[in-house]
């Protein structure tokens, strides 16, 4: 026994207290091992035992400190008065809810930022395309194309083809397109501009309206005022250039148009035309609805059977304006119409200016249609009031709708709305067949509807096979954008190559005339 104690003492480190102190520490540590059942397997030496006992002592020390702190807290709670208890519990509740409130606030702020970003993206999805643009009252002015709409006694089809050309040129040359409400009021009966485009155009018109209106020298009131005051007072002459691109006459050369549109010194260009100088491809992404949306009045007048779903297959039959057979309007003869009715399904929807055909195709082939009693020429709404016959309304619902809208609109406005309903029906179709007409061709062109075919009559009276051809712009193929065409490929109005004109010479030619009584070909008022 004495030998074992001596061995243990020799293994322990020597302290100032001597061997007795060392022996006492060792015995104490062994007793703690026994109390906590920390038995070590046989064969361990003394250093391993001491190492194990040291970690155990640390754990026991932590437990004892935790127990003492808990006893102190319990004593404090026993001596706590009711007011302190309520305050403590409120603090505990607040500390418990604080992380929840903080997380909720974070989600609220993030949702607001995302909503603002969505609204901003929606409002500026059109305007953001125009690089370097800013508000017109800023230091860097925006650049615009003002489209005047119907001119030269043209109908809606020509006007809408011209609007499409204006938007394509606007995308190319970084210009925002605005429809002139002073010259094409009928457009805004059926459609309105989307997002911030309307505000941008309104600001532009407020700034430039007095500069784009023609002179009023011949107005009677002005003449009286001039006679009384013996002094002429006229509006400022138009100081902005006019780009004219028509499919017949009054067409400018490509080498004139391109530098005008590209010039950064011309904030506003007035577009007068119904075509693009050799059509390029139209963006295949619902191009029209990126800029415009139907008015509530137009939506309320749509005569579709399955509202709000538009008909998928639409036929547009355009009767000629003349009393004789127009070779450009082939496909309106009885044999061609019979072949057309047999070719297409009964779910086909018919649009036509010859209203008597509505009942004929419904009774013979089961086609659906609008219930217009008469259709007036869109170019004649302010001219000669041309129409192609009348019929009786057969739908009580359409009669009620017409009667309801008639209280709000005069006859001219009602006819305009009917034309917009027909055009919007074609615009939203998936498949279109039509006789020669810019009215339907413009909707097909805007929406890139395919398949679409032009009806050209039948091959022979014996076979009665319907002749269907591609749209004209598809036959010629997509041209290169005017902006990207090499200079040597630019053409004159007659199609022959034109000489390259420098932008400086073009800019000089479109400056306002020195006298308000004379105008040039590119600056005369519309």
Q: Are residues 312 and 388 in the same domain?
A: yes
Cα–Cα dist 109/419, whole Å: 48
Decide if 355 is inside a domain. Answer: yes
Q: Are residues 299 and 258 in the same domain?
A: no
Q: Are residues 231 and 352 in the same domain?
A: no
Decide if 519 is inside a domain. Answer: no
Count up the domains in the chain and report the number: 3
Tell me phi and psi for residue 455, to 5 degrees: -85, 125
Residue owning tokens 């009620």: 400
Nearest to 370 by CA among 308, 300, 319, 304: 304
Q: Are residues 317 and 254 in the same domain?
A: no
Q: Which domain holds residue 336?
A: 292-476
**Other CB atoms within 10 Å distance of the CB of residue 526:** 15
Cα–Cα dist 436/453, whole Å: 10
What pLDDT sits at residue 397? 55
Q: Are residues 315 and 233 in the same domain?
A: no
Decide if 354 is inside a domain. Answer: yes
Nearest to 144 by CA among 52, 47, 261, 234: 261
Show Cβ contacts of residue 451 under 8 Å, excluding neighbours closer than 6 positions.
Answer: 431
Decide if 306 is inside a domain. Answer: yes
The segments of the chain whose pLDDT lies below 50 read 1-53, 55, 57, 114-115, 117-125, 131-140, 215-236, 382-385, 500-526
Q: Are residues 300 and 437 in the same domain?
A: yes
Tell me phi and psi for residue 144, to 5 degrees: -135, 160
Decide if 250 is inside a domain. Answer: yes
Q: Are residues 463 and 315 in the same domain?
A: yes
What pLDDT sits at residue 310? 97
Q: What is the largest CA-CA distance in the chain?
A: 144
What pLDDT sits at residue 327? 66
Q: Are residues 220 and 183 in the same domain?
A: yes
Decide if 413 is inside a domain. Answer: yes
What pLDDT sits at residue 195? 72
Show Cβ contacts of residue 180 under 8 Å, excluding neighbours closer than 6 positions.
Answer: 146, 147, 148, 149, 205, 212
DSSP readout, 236-273? Answer: PPP-S-EEEE-SSSS---HHHHHHHHH-TT-SEEEEEE
pLDDT digits (tens, 9 = 90+) for 443-495: 999 999 999 999 999 998 888 899 999 999 999 999 999 999 999 899 888 88
DSSP annotation of 184: -
- CB under 8 Å, gap of 24 or more: what pairs does 260-264 form? 260/506, 260/507, 260/510, 261/145, 261/169, 261/172, 261/173, 261/175, 261/482, 262/173, 262/483, 262/503, 263/503, 263/506, 263/507, 264/143
Decide if 126 is inside a domain. Answer: no
Mode of pairing for the β-strands spanning 292-294 and 191-193? antiparallel
Cα–Cα dist 434/416, whole Å: 21
Q: Is 366 left (phi over 0), alpha (psi -120 to 50) or beta?
A: left
Q: Is 451 left (phi over 0), alpha (psi -120 to 50) or beta?
A: beta
Q: Are residues 380 and 261 in the same domain?
A: no
Cα–Cα dist 443/158, whole Å: 11
Q: Are residues 43 and 150 in the same domain?
A: no
What pLDDT sits at residue 177? 97
Q: Are residues 360 and 501 in the same domain?
A: no
Decide if 213 is inside a domain. Answer: yes
What pLDDT sits at residue 257? 94
User: Are 454 and 471 contacting, i.e. CB atoms less than 8 angstroms apart?
Assistant: yes
Q: Are residues 394 and 501 in the same domain?
A: no
**Would you state the structure tokens that stand for residue 322, as one six-digit string?**
């003349």
CB burial readout 43-56, b (16+ within 10 A) else e: eeeeeebbeebeeb
Task: Give the CATH number for residue 410.
Answer: 3.40.50
């Amino acid at each position: 026994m004495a030998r074992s104690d001596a061995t243990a003492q020799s293994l322990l480190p020597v302290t100032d207290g001597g061997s007795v102190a060392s022996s006492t520490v060792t015995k104490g540590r062994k007793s703690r091992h026994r109390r906590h059942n920390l038995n070590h397997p046989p064969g361990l030496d003394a250093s391993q035992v001491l190492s194990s006992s040291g970690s155990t002592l640390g754990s026991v020390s932590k437990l004892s400190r935790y127990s003492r702190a808990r006893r102190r807290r319990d004593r404090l709670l026993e001596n706590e008065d009711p007011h302190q208890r309520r305050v403590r519990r409120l603090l505990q509740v607040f500390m418990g809810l604080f992380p929840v409130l903080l997380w909720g606030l974070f989600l609220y702020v993030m949702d607001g930022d995302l909503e603002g970003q969505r609204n901003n993206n929606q409002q500026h999805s059109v305007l953001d395309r125009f690089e370097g643009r800013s508000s017109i009252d800023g230091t860097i002015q925006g650049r615009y194309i003002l489209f005047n709409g119907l001119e030269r006694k043209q109908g809606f089809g020509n006007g809408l083809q011209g609007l499409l050309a204006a938007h394509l040129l606007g995308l190319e040359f970084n210009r925002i397109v605005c429809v002139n409400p002073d010259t094409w009021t009928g457009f805004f009966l059926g459609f309105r501009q989307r997002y911030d485009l309307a505000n941008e155009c309104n600001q532009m018109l407020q700034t430039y309206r007095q500069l784009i209106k023609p002179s009023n020298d011949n107005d009677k009131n002005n003449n009286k005022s001039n006679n009384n005051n013996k002094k002429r007072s006229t509006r400022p002459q138009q100081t902005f250039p006019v780009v004219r691109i028509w499919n017949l006459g009054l067409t400018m050369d490509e080498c004139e148009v391109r530098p005008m549109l590209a010039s950064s010194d011309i904030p506003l260009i007035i577009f007068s035309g119904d075509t693009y100088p050799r059509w390029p491809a139209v963006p295949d992404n619902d191009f029209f609805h990126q800029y415009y949306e139907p008015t509530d009045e137009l939506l309320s007048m749509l005569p579709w059977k399955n509202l709000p779903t538009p008909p998928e297959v639409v036929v547009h039959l355009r009767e000629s304006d003349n009393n004789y057979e127009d070779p450009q309007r082939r496909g309106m003869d009885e044999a061609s119409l019979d072949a057309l009715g047999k070719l297409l399904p009964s779910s086909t929807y018919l649009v036509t200016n010859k209203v008597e055909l509505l009942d004929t195709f419904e009774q013979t082939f089961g086609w659906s249609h609008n219930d217009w009693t008469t259709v007036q020429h869109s170019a004649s709404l302010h001219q000669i009031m041309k129409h192609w016959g009348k019929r009786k309304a057969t739908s009580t619902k359409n009669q009620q709708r017409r009667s309801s809208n008639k209280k709000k609109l005069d006859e001219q406005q009602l006819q305009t709305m009917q034309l917009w309903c027909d055009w919007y029906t074609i615009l939203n179709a998936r498949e279109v067949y039509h006789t020669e007409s810019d009215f339907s061709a413009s909707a097909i062109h805007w929406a890139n509807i395919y398949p679409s075919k032009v009806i050209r009559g039948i091959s022979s009276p014996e076979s009665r096979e319907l002749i269907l051809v591609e749209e004209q712009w598809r036959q010629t193929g997509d041209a290169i954008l005017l902006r990207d065409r090499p200079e040597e490929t630019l053409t004159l109005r007659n199609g022959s190559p034109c000489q390259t004109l420098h932008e400086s010479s073009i800019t000089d030619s479109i400056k306002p005339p020195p006298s308000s009584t004379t105008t040039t070909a590119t600056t005369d008022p519309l």
